[in-house]
Structure 1
Amino acid sequence: MNLLQQLLGDQIFVWMMVFLRVGTAFSVMPTVGDAFVPTRARLLFALAVSVVVAPVIRPQLPAMPDSPFQLMVLAAGEMAVGIFLGTMARLLMGALEVAGTIISLQTGLSNAQIFNPALATAGSLPGALMGWLGLLLLFATDLHHLLIMAVVDSYATFLPGAPIPIDDMANVIGQLVSKSFLLGVQMSAPFIITGMLFALALGLLNKLAPQVQVFQLFTSVQVLLGLFMFALTLGAMMMFWLSRFESTFVDLLK
């Protein structure tokens, strides 16, 4: 009876340790961890993945701690790694919001707000549309499998029970924030250039005819021109972001 209890206790410990990292990562990363996914479905999916990969990961897990404090420390470390993995993918999704915000400012759509699935908050109309398209492309190209594989393969890099490399994690997060902002600016570069030229043209026209309310009259033209450019460049912007998302995530996992 004691042997059976010990076996069941060890097995539950293995499942719990795997579930803490997998479940935490799935609750933060895009696709599986987005707000429109029910919490129950998210937890059941994380539990199913944990049960499947637990036999493979079990040799890498440490022995069950003797004290509750050591167990809490081990659990906190697994949750921290899961949050880190999910945040990596979430920051790359943030490039879409950066690009959408810049586009909305340059096209006169900054006052319109709508729910953005990439950040689970209200955002600009172009950013929300690009967020939905980004999620669709992740599923259509099976890149969500890459996110799941990243969580499973993380046990080779972040060994359970080993000290957490906080400095390296902070450096990676900082690089991802910089790369995400740069990627958003690169995607919206045509709108920045067009917006500057349009504002320059309106300024010259205002100097030539100061009695005419130039900026008020040409607001609709700015919106129309912005929507036309957005329709022309949307496909190229999303493919550019998708390629950078995959390459960046693969490089970070090496």
Structure 2
Amino acid sequence: MPMELLSLNDALNGQIYAFMVIFSRVGTAFMLLPGFGDSYVSTRIRLMMALAITLVVLPILMPTLPPVPAGALGLAVLLVMESFVGVFLGTLTRMLTAALDIAGTIISMQIGLSNAFMFNPALASQGTLIGAYMGYIGIILLFVTDLHHMLILAVIGSYEVFAPGATLPVGDLADMMTRMVGQSFMIGAQMAAPFLAVGIMFNLALGLLQKMMPQLQAFSVIMGGQVALGLALFTIVVSATMLFWLQAVETTLSGLLG
């Protein structure tokens, strides 16, 4: 009987240890993942989702965990490392939504709305009107197209790449983050490319008009037309632009999943 109680106690301790280790990574990732970690999502809801995902994957990931550390210091170091991986994964995927803000900022500058600001939920800060609008649409499309499943799978699949307890490849992590930042800028610039082209042509035409008619305050008179033309172009291309972003997100997440 005492041996059975001892075995049961060891099993419970092992499950509690596994839950703590897995939740350290999953919980911190859910605090930053697009759609899950946005400021308008209640902290309690994020916590409940992270707990639910941890309980679901616990039996699957338990065999991949290292043995229970001998001391409290070893356990603390392991939990901190797992939390760091979670923060890294959340920040990495957050770069994908940053591309929307980059595109929105460029578009706003080209159509004369660079001074129109509102709260951007994706970044939890003030942003341009177009960037915030595209941020809302992007989060909605993530869930409508089920790409949020790929976000969760990317976190779970990270256990194959970053084994718990193993030495973290800091150089590779920094390189991956650098490439993701560059990719987000590239995606944002590509999304805003039509507005860059139209903006350059519009400003060239405006400069020629000002040169031919110096007495006309062209930049003040044509400002309303610039905004109207920009909004009309945005209405035409916003669908294709968001589909391009969705394709880029899917490609990036597929690369993370291997």
TM-score bracket, normalised by the shorter chain, equals: over 0.9
**Structure 2 residue aligned with 1:83:** 87
**Structure 2 residue aligned with 1:39:** 43
**Structure 2 residue aligned with 1:10:** 14
* 1:197 and 2:198 are equivalent in the alignment: no
SS of the residue 1:114 aligns to: strand
Deviation, 1:154, is: 1.1
Instruction: Show CA shifts across 1:198-239 (max 9, x none).
Output: 111111111111111110011000000000000000000000
Query: Which whole-Å CA distance do the structure 2 matches of 1:226 and 1:200 have between them?
Result: 15
Q: CA RMSD in A?
A: 1.0
**Structure 2 residue aligned with 1:175:** 179
Query: Which whole-Å CA distance do the structure 1 matches of 2:35 and 2:219 have between them?
Result: 41
Q: What count of residue pairs does the alignment treat as equivalent?
A: 254
Deviation, 1:122, is: 1.1
Instruction: Show CA shifts across 1:163-218 (max 9, x none).
Output: 00111111111011111101111110111111111111111111111111110011
* 1:117 and 2:121 are equivalent in the alignment: yes
Deviation, 1:21, is: 0.5
The amino acid that maps onto 2:21 is M
Query: Which whole-Å CA distance do the structure 2 matches of 1:60 and 1:3 have between them?
Result: 21
**Structure 1 residue aligned with 2:138:** 134
SS of the residue 1:41 aligns to: helix
Deviation, 1:88, is: 1.5
* 1:95 and 2:95 are equivalent in the alignment: no
The amino acid that maps onto 2:253 is F
Instruction: Show CA shifts across 1:111-167 (max 9, x none).
Output: 110111221111011111110110011000000000111111111111100000111
The amino acid that maps onto 2:239 is G
Query: Which whole-Å CA distance do the structure 2 matches of 1:129 and 1:81 have between them?
Result: 30
Query: Which whole-Å CA distance do the structure 1 matches of 2:155 and 2:206 have between them?
Result: 52
Instruction: Show CA shifts across 1:54-92 (max 9, x none).
Output: 111000001111111111110111011111111111001
Query: Which whole-Å CA distance do the structure 1 matches of 2:21 and 2:205 have between them?
Result: 62
**Structure 2 residue aligned with 1:149:** 153
Contact kept? 2:100, 2:134, Cα under 8 Å: yes
* 1:105 and 2:109 are equivalent in the alignment: yes
* 1:224 and 2:228 are equivalent in the alignment: yes
What is the TM-score of this pair, normalised by structure 1?
0.98
The amino acid that maps onto 1:215 is F
The amino acid that maps onto 2:209 is L
Query: Which whole-Å CA distance do the structure 2 matches of 1:123 and 1:193 have between them?
Result: 23
Unaligned ranges ≥5, structure 2: none
**Structure 2 residue aligned with 1:207:** 211
The amino acid that maps onto 1:133 is I
**Structure 1 residue aligned with 2:256:** 252
Query: Which whole-Å CA distance do the structure 2 matches of 1:252 and 1:151 have between them?
Result: 9
**Structure 1 residue aligned with 2:68:** 64
Query: Which whole-Å CA distance do the structure 2 matches of 1:54 and 1:215 have between them?
Result: 62
Query: Which whole-Å CA distance do the structure 1 matches of 2:28 and 2:207 have between them?
Result: 52
**Segment of structure 1 superposing worse, 136-145 or 65-74:** 65-74
SS of the residue 2:10 aligns to: helix
Deviation, 1:8, is: 2.1
Instruction: Show CA shifts across 1:31-76 (max 9, x none).
Output: 1111111001100110111011111100000111111111111011
